[in-house]
Each structure stands twice: as C-alpha cells, then as structure tokens.
C-alpha cells in the first residue's frame, strides 16, 4: 500500500486517524498497542508471509535489549545481537550474491532481490543502532522498554518501509512517554508536509520515471544516442531525489498528524558544493548512522590520514552493499568513497577553491555519473549507458522518450522539437526545485500562514484538495512504486 495510493489516502489513513484519536482520548495507555497493530497490518498488507520475519526480529532483538539493560556481559551480548541481525539480513538479502561469488548457483541475485522481505535493511539497521547505543551507555540509564513500546518503535508504519531511520531518542522515548497527541494544529501541519511529499512523488518523480525507465532499459540491450543518454541520467538523478524525499516527507507528515516528529531526511542535497556536503544533506538518517556506527567504530579520523581515508572508503563500500546485493551497488559506493577521499585531500592541500556555482555543478556531475551504476541492473547496462553518453545526438529518438511527459499530463502531441523543448523545460524546472526548495523552510513559511486570516488558509485548503484530486487522477490505473522500497 503506497502512501500516494487511493487505498491509503481514502481508506487506511482515515481509519488510522479515527482510531488514534479515539484511543488517545479515551484509552491512551493502549495507544502504543494500537500503533503496533496498525503498523503490522500495514506491513502485512504487502505480503503476509513476511510478517513472521519482522515479528521474530523484534522479539529476538528485544531479548538482547533486555539483557543489555541489565549490563551483564555487555560486549558478548551486543556482539550476539549484532550478529543475529547480520545473519538475518545476510540470509535473506545476500546469500545468492555471495554464493555466486563463490561459484555456487543457488539462485539468480537479480531475481532474488525482487523477493526480499520488505524493509529488512531498515528495521535491522535500526535495531542494531539501538543495541549499540545501549552498549555505549547512550541509553543504558533508561529503564527497559516494554515489548509493546519497543515493537511500536521498530514497526511504526510511517517510517517502517523506507525510513527515515529513527533512533531511540527520536521515537522510542516519545512513545514510552505517550508524548504525542492529535489536534487540528497537528493535522493541518502534518497534512501540509504530506502534500508536499505527495506533490514531489506524483507530479515530479512519477513523470521522470516514465522517461528514465525506458532509457535505462534500452541500455541493458545496447547503446542509445547521446542526447537520450543524458536525458536518462538527468531524469533518474531527479527521479530518485523527488521519489525518496517525497516518500520521506509523506512519512514525516504522517507522524506530525499525530504529534510525532520524525527526523527530516533531506536538505536540498543537489545544492551542495562538495561531495562532503552532499552526504550531509542526502538520506541524512542513513548517512548519520553510517558515520556513527561504522566510520567512527573503525577509528574515524582519529587514526591518521591513511586510516581515515581507508575508513571512509570502507564505510562507503559497505553503504553501497547495504543498498543491494550486486557489484553495481558496490561500485556506486566505491565511487562515492573515491570522491570523498579526493574531496578531503584537495581540502587539506588547499589546492583549489571553486566558486560556489562551479562546486555545485561539479558535485552534480559526479553524483549523476555514480547514479548510473545505482540504477542499472547490470554492469553491462551501466557500461552501455556510459558509452551512450559519448555517442552522437538524435533529436527524434530523444523526443520519443520525452513524449512521456506530455502523455502523462495529457498534453496535445506536437513536433519533435516542441517535445524536446517541453521535456527539457520540465527537467530544468525540476532541477531548480531540487536546488532551491527545502521543505523544512517551506513549512516554516506555512506555519506563519497558519496564524493568518481564515480566508488565506481556506484558499490553501481548496488548492490542496484540487491538487491531490488531480494527482490521484493522473496515477489512476498506473503501477505506483517507490524506489527505496527495494532496499
């Protein structure tokens, strides 16, 4: 059940809000049990066969949490908990990949990746982080949470499928303290954030997918013309941002509706003027966890310049592998590791200081190049896409791909040059939004509007309703998906 689907918006969401409002008003001590039940129902809607896996993961991890809270044999317990999570993740996500490396033909890694237990990377990583926090005494002084509170923390449906990845102080403590509520104010700001994410997904990411997908599919079997290749890479670069940030913001909005603040996951990453800054802005919750639990655990920057770069490279390679069991994800992580090491070396040497706009341009080019390996299912497909970038341009061929924009928005068919002009305009407009619009700042403006006269808010509400109705109309009958649901 996708957040932008009619089943979620018109059925699941109203039922959830009605139940939450009733429980928080008349049976608040049972509200976390409601959160758990609704979250497991949401998860089971995708495939009920995966429910025992997440339930078993929660129960076993809770046993490790309870043991760690007693502070007995802590290193052994935390090692056992981390090992359990890694084995669970490895069995379901990586067994085919590693078996193929060893020459054992268990199954096709590409096919196996399409049948993973949903969100297994996210809920295992979140639970590992909590175990390590207790071991590091960041949460050791707190009492052991109840099983229901802990299970609600792990499975809270807005963030369960693809993040943002939450830490105990961000979600578990508010759940334990029942520090949430539903009101007209929380509903209004939550719906506003949700609508921003909905707009990003339905009006920008989905049309971009209609252009990027066929171009990348074509490069799996051969080389395309240079203009089509550039359009495909740019379209996916924008698609993955608007798709993932749109989902994350819908999740934040769902939390805000009931008074729960989930962490923001993006901060205009394509406006970063360096790769270092990019990774402070992109998928912030994952980047923070990789830094805190992997990079720092390896020694971080405290062990000399060589080891620092080694630790950085290792972190990015593991980060790439976390995204998927294929060499292309490892190459993607390795490229970003190389970019980051080079970025640090240039800063240390003070060789060159680029103007801001040139730094943004260079960063976007490097990021877009690395996305080729992230998006391509095979290494041959990625190689074909790179070779395609160097071929001659074919305006007519490129217009065939860009016509998807007009078809999606039901615009009249025009000449190839008009299709190219319209498509390029859409891509440029999307890039401008990605560079200049930060949802957190947009919500600050909206919060000030909430205190304005009733007429302005009523107009905004009508506009939002019409926008959502048109968005639902556009996606009617089409397959809707989020990119990060595959991880």
- Which residues are catalytic, by number? 323
- Integer-rounded Cα Rg, in Å, for the chain is 23
For 303-313, give one letter per residue: b (16+ CB within 10 A) or e. eeeeebbbbbb
Task: For residue 239, give the nearest of 357, 374, 356, 391 by alpha carbon.
Answer: 374
Tell me phi and psi for residue 352, to 5 degrees.
Answer: -150, 145
**Contact residues for 145 (Cβ-Cβ < 8 A; gap 6+):** 65, 153, 172, 176
Burial 21-45 (b: 16+ CB within 10 A, else e): eebbeeeeeebbbbbbbbbbbbbee
Q: How far apart, in whole angstroms, are the C-alpha atoms of residue 407 and residue 102?
A: 46
- Cβ–Cβ contacts within 10 Å for residue 397, how many? 15
> Tokens at residue 156, please?
């809270």
* Rounded Cα distance, 353 and 373, in Å: 29
Q: Which residues contact 137 (CB under 8 A, 6 or more apart)?
A: none
CA dihedral sign, ordered 202, 329, 346, 358: negative
Q: What 8-state DSSP symbol labels residue 166?
A: P
* Cβ within 8 Å of residue 397, ≥6 positions away: 224, 225, 227, 228
């Amino acid at each position: 059940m996708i957040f932008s689907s009619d089943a979620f918006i018109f059925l699941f969401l109203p039922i959830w809000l009605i139940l939450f409002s009733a429980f928080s008003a008349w049976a608040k001590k049972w509200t976390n049990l409601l959160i758990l039940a609704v979250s497991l129902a949401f998860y089971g809607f995708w495939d009920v066969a995966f429910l025992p896996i997440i339930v078993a993961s929660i129960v076993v991890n809770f046993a490790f949490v309870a043991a760690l809270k007693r502070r007995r044999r802590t290193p052994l317990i935390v090692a056992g908990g981390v090992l359990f999570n890694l084995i669970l993740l490895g069995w379901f996500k990586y067994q085919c990949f590693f078996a193929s490396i060893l020459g054992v033909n268990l199954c096709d890694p590409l096919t196996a990746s399409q049948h993973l237990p949903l969100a297994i990377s996210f809920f295992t990583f979140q639970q590992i982080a909590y175990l390590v926090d207790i071991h590091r005494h960041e949460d050791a002084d707190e009492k052991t949470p109840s099983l229901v509170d802990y299970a609600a923390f792990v499975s809270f449906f807005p963030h369960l499928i693809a993040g943002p990845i939450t830490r105990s102080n961000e979600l578990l403590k508010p759940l334990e303290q029942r520090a949430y509520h539903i009101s007209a104010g929380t509903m209004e700001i939550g719906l506003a954030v949700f609508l921003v994410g909905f707009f990003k997904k339905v009006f920008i990411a989905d049309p971009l997918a209609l252009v990027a997908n066929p171009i990348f599919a074509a490069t799996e079997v051969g080389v395309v013309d240079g203009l089509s290749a550039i359009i495909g890479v740019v379209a996916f670069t924008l698609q993955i941002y608007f798709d993932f940030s749109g989902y994350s913001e819908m999740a934040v909005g769902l939390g805000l509706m009931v008074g729960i603040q989930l962490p923001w996951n993006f901060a205009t990453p394509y406006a970063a003027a360096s790769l270092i800054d990019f990774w402070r802005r992109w998928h912030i919750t994952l980047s923070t966890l990789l830094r805190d639990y992997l990079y720092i655990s390896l020694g971080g920057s405290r062990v000399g310049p060589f080891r620092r770069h080694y630790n950085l490279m290792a972190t990015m390679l593991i980060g790439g592998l976390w995204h998927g069991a294929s060499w292309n994800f490892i190459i993607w992580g390795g490229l970003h590791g190389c970019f980051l090491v080079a970025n640090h070396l240039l800063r240390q040497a003070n060789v060159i200081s680029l103007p801001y706009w040139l730094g943004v341009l260079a960063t976007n080019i490097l990021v877009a190049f690395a996305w080729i390996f992230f998006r391509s299912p095979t290494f041959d497909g990625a190689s074909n896409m790179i070779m395609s970038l160097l071929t001659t341009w074919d305006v007519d061929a490129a217009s065939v791909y860009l016509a998807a924009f007009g078809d999606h928005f039901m615009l009249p068919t025009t000449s190839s040059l008009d299709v190219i002009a319209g498509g390029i305009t859409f891509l440029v407009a999307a890039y401008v939004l990605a560079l200049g619009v930060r949802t957190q700042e947009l919500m600050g403006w909206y919060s000030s509007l909430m205190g304005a006269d009733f007429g302005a808010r009523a107009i905004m509400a009508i506009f939002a309703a019409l926008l959502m109705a048109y968005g639902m109309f556009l996606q009617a009958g089409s397959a809707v998906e989020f990119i990060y649901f595959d991880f």
